Structures are given as structure tokens and as C-alpha cells.
Structure 1
């Protein structure tokens, strides 16, 4: 009398479904990450948001330090750095990211530089 079952359970684990899940998570986090906004600034609130593309990002933090695309720049060299980065760009655009506590004079200074050089300026805000 042969009472053994025909179905044998294999103790091996298939990793293919696990790798699919890890790959999907990797793609999700790569798409949702925000690389250009690497500086942690507390932006002012506003309704709506801009869909324009940027050529250069200028950030001003609460210590009144200026950053051009995450590179710290002294205030007196800001205009020359912007000219250097935007010299061969068609329709140059600057996105201005000034922290809430930054005096308006510093933001206006960047806007003046953009106005003198005929650059378009977009003020970055945090959604309401």
C-alpha cells in the first residue's frame, strides 16, 4: 500500500516577485523626488503654482546667504554668476526661492538683476 502524496512542496523561495516590487518602489521614488529643490527653505504660501521651466534657481535662506543652483555665491558676485550661467540660453528664466523670513530688499535685488539683464523671474511659493 502506497500512501505517499503526489504533490511535493518545494522549500525554495522565488525572488522574482520581490525584485518586481523593489523595482517599482525604486521607480516611484525616483519620479517623486525633487532634486532641484535640495535646499530646505520655508517658502511663503500662495494659491496656484507655476508650470514654467527654469534655467537657474536662486535661493536665499534665513541667514541671507545666496545660492545659485545649490552653489553658494557671495552677494556681490550674484549678477556675474547669473550672466555666466544664462549667457547662451534662449528665454532665460530664474526661479527665485526666498525663505519667508528674508527681507523683501534681498528678493528685490535679485529681481533688479533679472530686470536689467532681461531675465524672466518666477517666485517660488509653497502651496496653500
Structure 2
């Protein structure tokens, strides 16, 4: 009985498992990503066109409300919350602190945030809206 066996490997590649893995990775990264949510403020105007990535958002309102990464804190605890947020960033030297100060907020409230960012060697930028004209 001379039966021949076929030892040929299948040359087709099954993509179904690869697409499942990519889909699961996509869902994982969407769920773990940090979305920056800035409340609509009346921001100062600027001619600058620079768009920078941000790690930490500090929101200052005229009413005195302060938020660090969308968490409301008091004015006295703001620097501690910012210091903690900077320590959570992996690469502090490339960290960016975005200061969203409503138009009319005294600059004396913005300076301590900028000074703390400078001490930690992080960049501090002030969010503005484009000048219409």
C-alpha cells in the first residue's frame, strides 16, 4: 500500500488573530490615554502660532478657582498639587506645564506656577487664543 504523504506547509497567513490583537491594543490605549479638557475661558490674545504638547494643565479663574489636571484645588495647595503632578511625569526635563489663565487674572497668580516649573526644569507656556484681525 504505497500511500504518499504530503508534507507541504500551508503558505497562507491567517490575519484574524493579528487584527484581534491590534483591536485590543487600540481599546487599551484609548482607555488609558489622558484627554486634556480645558474649560472655555476668555483667554488673552496672541499672534503666536506655536502648538506644544502638554503634560500638566493648570487652570486659573478670575473667581479664584484653581484646577491642576482638572482636579479642583485651593490656591494654597496649588503648588503642592503641581509639584506632585510634575513628579508623576516620567521625563521632567521634557515636561510642559500649560497655564490656562482667564483674561483678567493677575500675573502675580501666574508667576509662582512659572517659577515652580522653572525649578523643576519643565517648560511653562501660557495658553492664548489667536488674535483676530
TM-score bin, normalised by smaller chain: 0.5 to 0.7
Map of 1:39 onto structure 2? 39
- How far the C-alpha of 1:48 sits from its partner, in A, is 2.2
Structure 2: give runs of 5+ residues left out of the alignment: 1-34
Q: Does 1:93 align with 2:96?
A: yes
- How far the C-alpha of 1:86 sits from its partner, in A, is 2.0
Tell me, in whole angstroms, the C-alpha distance in 1 between the residues paired with 2:99 and 2:127. 6
Q: Does 1:109 align with 2:112?
A: yes
Map of 1:67 onto structure 2? 67
Structure 1: give runs of 5+ residues left out of the alignment: 1-34
Secondary structure of 1:64's aligned partner? coil
- How far the C-alpha of 1:59 sits from its partner, in A, is 0.7
Q: Under a length normalisation based on structure 1, what TM-score does the superposition of the two structures give? A: 0.66
Count of residues in Structure 1 that have an aligned counterpart in Structure 2 = 94
Contact 1:93 1:122 in 2 (8 A): yes
C-alpha deviations, 1:65-114, integer Å up to 9, x for none? 11112211112222221222221421111001111110110011211221
Contact 1:39 1:70 in 2 (8 A): no
Q: Under a length normalisation based on structure 2, what TM-score does the superposition of the two structures give? A: 0.64
Tell me, in whole angstroms, the C-alpha distance in 1 between the residues paired with 2:85 and 2:51. 22
